[in-house]
Amino acid sequence: MSLSYRQPGVVLTDRHFTVPLDHADPDGETIELYAREVVASDKAGQELPWMLYLQGGPGFGANRFVGRQAWLGRALEEYRVLLLDQRGTGRSTPATRQTLPLRGGPAEQADHLARFRADSIVRDCEAIRTQVTGGAPWTVLGQSFGGFCTVTYLSLAPEGIDTAIVTGGLPSLHAHADDVYRAAYPRVERKVAAHYACYPQDVERARRIADHLLGHDVVLPGGYRLTVEAFQSLGLMLGASDGSHRLHHLLEDAFVRTTAGLELSDAFQEQARVLLSYAGHPLYALVHESIYGQDARPTAWAAERVRAEFPQFDAAKALAGDAPVLFTGETVHPWMFDTDPALRPLRETAELLAARTDWGPLYDPARLAANEVPAAAAVYHDDMYVDTAHSLETAAAIRGLRPWVTNEYEHDGLRAGAPHVLDRLLALARDEA
């Protein structure tokens, strides 16, 4: 039974769907999907076209907006919007350290999680579309990994899409995970350099924190072990529009003087715990590299292996000289399954996923080359999370897709630049700009 309720300016309806766990076995086991339908209050009784929103990640539930926040206000001018919690996220059937043991041991868990990639997400969308729209195609808005899913959608079921809008999420159609991270580390280094240019005082602050962590075993509230590598991974923040400023504020009061000498403050430790813990989105860590797996080559902890090719990211070596400590970006490493109590029970499962060699293709280049769906994409110049060159190559490979390349926004431009970003992309897809 659907439940409707109100927030300022909108009517919300909770929607629940049952879909096959494995779409190749439609009569087999099922899982539940949750989505939140949103419509403007003054249009609640009208027949409107639908927009499906696919969240970034992988492993995150859809945005929990209040009213018409961010890009949603622009979308609600003409659409009913469906905010989908992709399989395993949010209020959909969860996949966490608490629930995965229900599947069996690590091998069974890994087999289960292999069904949580973009191809399964797209088939979920097609399974629920007829229930939502009555069979009509819908506009699909994909942010980041949601954009990856949108390109998969155009590959597998373009008949389900009226218009495709991608923000910061045009993937390479062919690159292996190794290629993705070889392109990523130099981008991350540029973002770190830009941060230190803006906040030169943070060079010494980061060195002090890293030096302290190399000499002390720091366990955060809740049991997270704050290693120097974990500290460096806070650089994930630098890909967002306000990330450099938030990182600066985190670093500026990291230490407090105690009877035992200087220690990391409780305030710093708590903020670091919130930023680093995967308790709310463990699926991200488990399947992140698998989104780049498309053939018999294992991903094999690509980010960790490729990092060794960039010794400037070694904090100990930086501290041995006068080089700045470099932060890292959107990367998942095996040590995370030791430091984070939300991931520790899943270490063997993660190892099996990293070793897997039966990944199927996620994109159909021939079908994309013949695309007939109106499409537009925002490509953020020097996006820390998605390589610009890879995105432009894919934009050229999708027939009719109109890219908008801009340095006005970071990866979160859809949020930070609303309603301008969505408005421009809709105009591009409609040949109105």
From 144, 155, 172, 244, the catalytic residue: 144
Q: Would you give the distance in Å from CA 378 to the centre of its chain?
A: 16
Task: For residue 24, give the amino acid letter.
Answer: A
In the residue annotation, 358 being an active-site residue is answered as yes
Cβ distance 278 to 57 under 8 Å? no
Residue 51 neighbours by CB under 8 Å, 6+ apart: 75, 79, 80, 81, 82, 138, 139, 140, 141
Helix axes 145-156, 118-133, angle to 10 degrees: 70
Helix axes 243-251, 201-215, angle to 10 degrees: 60
Residue entry with tokens 């018999």:
296
Q: Would you give the distance in Å from CA 190 to the centre of its chain?
A: 21
In the residue annotation, 124 being an active-site residue is answered as no
Q: Phi and psi for 203 in degrees, rounded to 5?
A: -60, -50
From 25, 27, 322, 358, the catalytic residue: 358
From 195, 212, 390, 411, the catalytic residue: 411
Cβ distance 113 to 346 under 8 Å? no
| Active site positions, annotated | 144, 358, 411
